[in-house]
Structure 1
Amino acid sequence: MDGRRILDGWKSISAYLGRSGRTCRKWEQELGLPVHRLDDSASAHVFAYADELERWKEDKLQGETGQKVRRLSGPGRKTRVWLIAASLVTVLAVIGILVRPTKLGEKSPGPQTVKRIVILPFVDLSPDKAQEHLGDGIADILINALHRVEGLRTAARTSAFYFKGKDVTPKEIGRKLNVEWILEGSVQVSENRMRVVASLLSAADGFQLWTERYDRDPVDIFAVEDEIARMVVDSLKVKIMGEKKAPLVKPGTANREAYNLYSQGRYLWSKRGFNDLLNAIEFFKRAIDLDPRFALGYAGLSDAYSVLGANCSLPAHETFPKSLDYAVKALEIDDQLAEAHSALGSVKLSYEWDFAGAEKEIKRAMDIEPEDGNYHARYAILLSNLGKHEDAIKEIKLARDLDPLNLRIRANVGNYLYFARRYTEAEQELKRELEFEPENCIVYVDLQKLYAAMDRYEEALEFGAPKHSNCAFGNQTMNIELVNARQAFVYARMGNTEEARKILRGREYISGPGEFISRAYLAATYGFLGETDKAFRLLEKAYEERDSRMVHLKVDPRFDSLRSDPRFGDLLRRVGLEK
């Protein structure tokens, strides 16, 4: 490519100018619109250069000439066009900034400065299908680049990736994410050559505004990503903050192989499975070996160890201290890295039980990235555990608005209503989520404990172990020993002590990789079995191990059988949940 953008055909030219094809043809005849033809025949294929059109607009569409153009395409015509929504209507309506489709003669909308776009994961078309992580990585880096552009709002990564592999129309994507534009593409790598294709579509009707193909050496991936980002910025007429010539894409390292390893790590991390997380850690470590100043690599390590601890895949003392060290290292390199602040907040919340420190770090992440739903969701966890239920529910709903297709966030709305003991509302939310994604195993877990609290035991058992075999997150994220332990809790609460003890037998000693069981969860079950002393011995063990589930003591109904015991109040004070 020579760097000049080509608009191929009248359809692309008219879309770029925001006018009908008929109007553009008149502009060519009467105003000298710079359009080229492959030959001199009337039916010859036409094309135009974007830079020439820009110069033509600046030179020709001013003053009296602008008035002439408006007369040519004025009210009364039925052709659909793209109209402008900005304060300088008389100038900007001529230039044709893309805002929304409307009919000529329709009242122009009020000022609109924010345009909404979703960047979908790029499809891997490589012969060996081994570049899926690269396609995801291109989308990731474009999301990070474009969400910092003033006047442009990008859909959250989790919501964007929800459509991966799904056969959906642009209109459906636009409706579910409330976006006007869709950036999609593909990547193909063969030997030492890489082909990336990117297309910008209207979500309203799937109209393709442009398609660009980049045939490059794989080492040029950052340059290609930056070119795509600038194409989007130029097409949507949004403002670049800071130095205009500065790269939009900032991968955090100049080492392409380090970033490639990081992308593979994030790809595995997003699956959340035990083995996936262990493999992700190895990729992140290899990335920082190549570039010891690569802050994102350290943040990835922190996130991976944090999830292993939070999922009870490994004991807390084996995971959270490492998560802490890597988060601190990431922030030493880049103190503006929101994910590192959030990871540090998670450690302070779930392991150190430093709730003030957790709030400080999570709020710092929210300040840096105010529209990232994950940070609001993490803040909601903190608020809920502290018993600030109204604030927690408000925050998790905000997180859902920001990341509407994030299944974890969506399920947690019902979960925090459960902690607030608003059971009817919790059931309504969770059933709604089950309709949205019938195999969401997070909802299975939440409905099981909700129905147990509501004494609806048969329904609770229905959402036990058999349900988890084909859930949306697969067995990758579900610790089957933990699933069985939850089933034992339901039996204990309903009074079927024999079945509960049968499941529990020997499980308090299970601590192998990927099958660790929270002592706090086991304690809740023994409490309902009437074995109070054993329950508190397990809680003391959980306290010594810094079990992350201890932060739920204040609000989780599963501990209700133990609340009247003075030892429970003492534990709440030691954890920091009560003064």
Structure 2
Amino acid sequence: MIHPNSVAVLPFTNMSKDVDNEYFSDGITEEIINVLAQVKGIQVTARTSSFAFKNQSMDVREIGDKLGVAHVLEGSIRRAGNRVRITAQLINTQQGFHEFSEVYDRDLEDVFAIQDEIALLITEKLKAELSRGTSMPFSNSHPKNTQAYDWYLQANKILYNGLPQDVNKAEELYKKVVDIEPDYALGYSGLAKCYLYYGAIQSMDKKAAFDQVEVYINKAFEIDPQLIDGHITYLGYMFWQNWNIPLALEHLAKTIQQLPGSAELHVGRAMILLIDEQYEEAKASMRLALQLDPFSVHVRHRAGVLLYCTEQYAEAIEQFKHEANNSVRNDTDFKIAWCQIFQKQYDEALHILNTVAEHPHQVIAHEVAKAYLYLQKGEITLAKEWIDTALNRLKTSQVPFPDYNLAILYMLLQNEEKMWDHLEKTLESQVPVALFTKVDPLWKPIANKPRFLELINRYMYSNIVNIKTNTQEEFTINLPQVLYIEAEDNYCQIVYEDTKYKLAKKLLRVSLKDLEPQIQEDSFVRTHRSFIINFQKKWQLIGKSKHYRFKNQAFEVEVPLSRSKEKEVLSQFKSLGLFTK
């Protein structure tokens, strides 16, 4: 049944002489969608599904039927110099008649007022009880400079449609925006999204990227604490920074209450629930996302990932095929081939691997995929040839996610020592693909092995802590990264291994006495009144009794063992064999 207060905003037609102004008409359309999405009681079709009908000559009643909406807003934009003409018509999709038709001839700087006027007109038509005097939840964060807004719309289009190498172009435009409009919250939120992307795929140092996300998102909230775009970006930052699944689900629930019609939020929730093995809830969230945004290639792609992870390969392929000819952002063809391998459709999979180039977002190299395929097919000689080819490529050229690919190859070679080593490096570096390790059918042959379960538990669940200090500062750390903690008066120095396997330090204003209860791990042991050591790391016992020290060879650091704790510590950890003398 179609909800009476449902509406789809179709892409406004660019009537300007300059076809390059398309980003402007698309941007205005998206802004109206965003405004309406914040009005409770109105169901708004997501951008991607509305834009699926761009440049299509279809009867609005047919569009309404496909999108499941009672109303459609369509219009056009003509821009000439500093003047803009916007036409807008709200059409009832059941009867085909116009609810209203308006024409706005204004200066470009009035475009924000036009957006709000159109949204208010729609709201009045769909919610008769909402009067013109009622407070609307529209953002007041509009730039005063029209050039800044123009750059903002250009950056949005690049970020939405672009390939990884285009993100820096969006970043440059957002920086130009805030340079001339330092109080424009959405400009800072845009910059935060760019650095969130860099940090998530680790195209730059992860810590440096997330530090920038924090700076920009805090600046956005300082200007506009209710900024929805900022809160969505903040959710991504929280999750990708430390993989804190319970905290991410908690904040998602709160944000969805504020924006229940966001397919993006429901997709995010579905993916996190999948990672946490809450399969039925994940599918329910994904069904809702598909209902809200049925033509979104992003939603379809994530639905395909969920179905693949739950071993519903035919259904996964159907979802991927929805976007096969409509996406430059995803490795759709490869994922179809990968599902076909698991369905034993080897010839079909080989055809894709032999004819489709690797995608920038593709995780598994073609050579590795072919080695896996031939081994599953039982053609051992060909499998070994492709394993050798893949190993050679990984040694001689830049391949995304090398440790992940090496872990697969050594699993095929049944070399468990090297497989565990590279799988642990993948999890420790927190690259995106590692999130799905526990639920990916690829790892099913080793999923019940104690070492696999130990790695998953160590890097994905109970080992991330937010250390509280005597100031407002908090420090989030994955405990397996910590080497040792040293007290310095009322401060503590946390010495840890960063994602680049280099030694890093963080000084916090908190005593060792107050910090120790925040670390509930058996591997963290007080060896001295000023030191706590993590015995998950490799330590060597050096020196003589009463003067023992623990030495980490990798980083050439030493930690003392006090006389009073010598007997207790040595008896405990010698029995466990966690260090050598």
Q: Match for residue 411 of structure 2? A: 527
The structure-2 alpha-carbon separation of the partners of 1:168 and 1:554, relative to structure 1 and needing over 3 Å to count, comes to same
Matching of residue 211 in structure 1 with residue 95 in structure 2 = no
Name the CA distance, whole Å, in 2 between partners of 1:452 and 1:479: 16
Task: Provide, for residues 532-557 of structure 1, a one-character-per-residue CA deviation record: whole Å limited to 9, x for no partner.
Answer: 33333322332443322222121112
Judging by fraction of residues, say which structure has more strand.
2
| 1:226-245 aligned within 5 A | 226-236=116-126, 238-240=128-130, 243-244=133-134
Q: Match for residue 372 of structure 1? A: 262
Name the CA distance, whole Å, in 1 between partners of 2:402 and 2:224: 34
The structure-2 alpha-carbon separation of the partners of 1:352 and 1:308, relative to structure 1 and needing over 3 Å to count, comes to same
The structure-2 alpha-carbon separation of the partners of 1:190 and 1:540, relative to structure 1 and needing over 3 Å to count, comes to same
Q: Match for residue 382 of structure 1? A: 272
The structure-2 alpha-carbon separation of the partners of 1:373 and 1:247, relative to structure 1 and needing over 3 Å to count, comes to closer
Q: Match for residue 448 of structure 1? A: 337
2:370 and 2:386 in contact (8 A); partners too: no
Name the CA distance, whole Å, in 2 between partners of 1:163 and 1:569: 47
Matching of residue 457 in structure 1 with residue 346 in structure 2 = yes
TM-score (normalised: structure 2): 0.70
Q: Match for residue 290 of structure 1? A: 180
Q: Match for residue 176 of structure 1? A: 66
1:155 and 1:403 in contact (8 A); partners too: yes
Question: Which secondary structure state, in structure 2, belongs to the residue aligned with residue 505 of structure 1?
Answer: helix
Question: Following TM superposition, by how much is the alpha carbon of 1:308 offset from its aligned partner in structure 2, in angstroms?
Answer: 4.4
Matching of residue 264 in structure 1 with residue 154 in structure 2 = yes
Structure 2: stretches of 5+ with no match in the other structure: 464-581
Name the CA distance, whole Å, in 2 between partners of 1:242 and 1:483: 59
**Which stretch of the first structure deviates more once superposed, 379-388 or 229-238?**
229-238
Select which of 326, 334, 355 maps to 2:216: 326
Select which of 50, 69, 81 maps to 1:191: 81
Question: Which secondary structure state, in structure 2, belongs to the residue aligned with residue 131 of structure 1?
Answer: helix
Name the CA distance, whole Å, in 1 between partners of 2:256 and 2:136: 25
Select which of 451, 460, 469 maps to 1:567: 451
Name the CA distance, whole Å, in 2 between partners of 1:414 and 1:339: 26
Name the CA distance, whole Å, in 2 between partners of 1:324 and 1:490: 43
Q: Match for residue 26 of structure 2? A: 136
Matching of residue 418 in structure 1 with residue 305 in structure 2 = no
Select which of 485, 501, 525 maps to 2:388: 501
Question: Following TM superposition, by how much is the alpha carbon of 1:568 offset from its aligned partner in structure 2, in angstroms?
Answer: 2.3
1:315 and 1:516 in contact (8 A); partners too: no
Name the CA distance, whole Å, in 1 between partners of 2:26 and 2:180: 21
Name the CA distance, whole Å, in 1 between partners of 2:436 and 2:364: 20
Task: Provide, for residues 121-143 of structure 1, a one-character-per-residue CA deviation record: whole Å limited to 9, x for no partner.
Answer: 22222222221221112112211
Question: Which secondary structure state, in structure 1, belongs to the residue aligned with residue 103 of structure 2?
Answer: strand
Aligned pairs, number: 457
Name the CA distance, whole Å, in 2 between partners of 1:130 and 1:390: 45
Question: Which secondary structure state, in structure 2, belongs to the residue aligned with residue 196 of structure 1?
Answer: strand
Matching of residue 280 in structure 1 with residue 170 in structure 2 = yes
2:249 and 2:272 in contact (8 A); partners too: yes
2:11 and 2:29 in contact (8 A); partners too: yes
Instruction: Give the letter for the 2:384 counterpart.
Output: T
Name the CA distance, whole Å, in 2 between partners of 1:548 and 1:161: 28
Matching of residue 336 in structure 1 with residue 223 in structure 2 = no
Question: Following TM superposition, by how much is the alpha carbon of 1:382 offset from its aligned partner in structure 2, in angstroms?
Answer: 0.9
Name the CA distance, whole Å, in 2 between partners of 1:444 and 1:202: 39
Name the CA distance, whole Å, in 2 between partners of 1:151 and 1:431: 33
Task: Provide, for residues 244-282 of structure 1, a one-character-per-residue CA deviation record: whole Å limited to 9, x for no partner.
Answer: 376956454444333322221111111141232221111
Instruction: Give the letter for the 1:418 counterpart.
Output: Y
Question: Which secondary structure state, in structure 2, belongs to the residue aligned with residue 553 of structure 1?
Answer: helix
Question: Following TM superposition, by how much is the alpha carbon of 1:372 offset from its aligned partner in structure 2, in angstroms?
Answer: 0.3
Structure 1: stretches of 5+ with no match in the other structure: 1-108, 470-474
Instruction: Give the letter for the 1:548 counterpart.
Output: P
TM-score (normalised: structure 1): 0.70
The structure-2 alpha-carbon separation of the partners of 1:565 and 1:319, relative to structure 1 and needing over 3 Å to count, comes to farther
Task: Provide, for residues 474-513 of structure 1, a one-character-per-residue CA deviation record: whole Å limited to 9, x for no partner.
Answer: x6x64598566545544455442212432442336755xx
Q: Match for residue 554 of structure 1? A: 438
Instruction: Give the letter for the 1:354 counterpart.
Output: N
Q: Match for residue 314 of structure 2? A: 427
The structure-2 alpha-carbon separation of the partners of 1:160 and 1:556, relative to structure 1 and needing over 3 Å to count, comes to same
Instruction: Give the letter for the 2:13 counterpart.
Output: V
Question: Following TM superposition, by how much is the alpha carbon of 1:387 offset from its aligned partner in structure 2, in angstroms?
Answer: 1.1
Q: Match for residue 200 of structure 1? A: 90
Question: Following TM superposition, by how much is the alpha carbon of 1:285 offset from its aligned partner in structure 2, in angstroms?
Answer: 1.8
- Higher RCO (CA < 8 A, seq sep 6+): 1
The structure-2 alpha-carbon separation of the partners of 1:195 and 1:154, relative to structure 1 and needing over 3 Å to count, comes to same
Q: Match for residue 222 of structure 1? A: 112
Question: Which secondary structure state, in structure 2, belongs to the residue aligned with residue 336 of structure 1?
Answer: coil
Name the CA distance, whole Å, in 1 between partners of 2:287 and 2:154: 31
Question: Following TM superposition, by how much is the alpha carbon of 1:113 offset from its aligned partner in structure 2, in angstroms?
Answer: 8.2
Matching of residue 347 in structure 1 with residue 231 in structure 2 = no
**Which stretch of the first structure deviates more once superposed, 457-466 or 158-167?**
457-466
Q: Match for residue 511 of structure 2? A: none
2:192 and 2:233 in contact (8 A); partners too: yes
Instruction: Give the letter for the 1:459 counterpart.
Output: E
Name the CA distance, whole Å, in 2 between partners of 1:346 and 1:488: 35
Select which of 14, 29, 49 maps to 1:159: 49
Question: Following TM superposition, by how much is the alpha carbon of 1:327 offset from its aligned partner in structure 2, in angstroms?
Answer: 3.4
Name the CA distance, whole Å, in 2 between partners of 1:456 and 1:169: 41
Name the CA distance, whole Å, in 2 between partners of 1:387 and 1:145: 35
Question: Following TM superposition, by how much is the alpha carbon of 1:234 offset from its aligned partner in structure 2, in angstroms?
Answer: 4.1
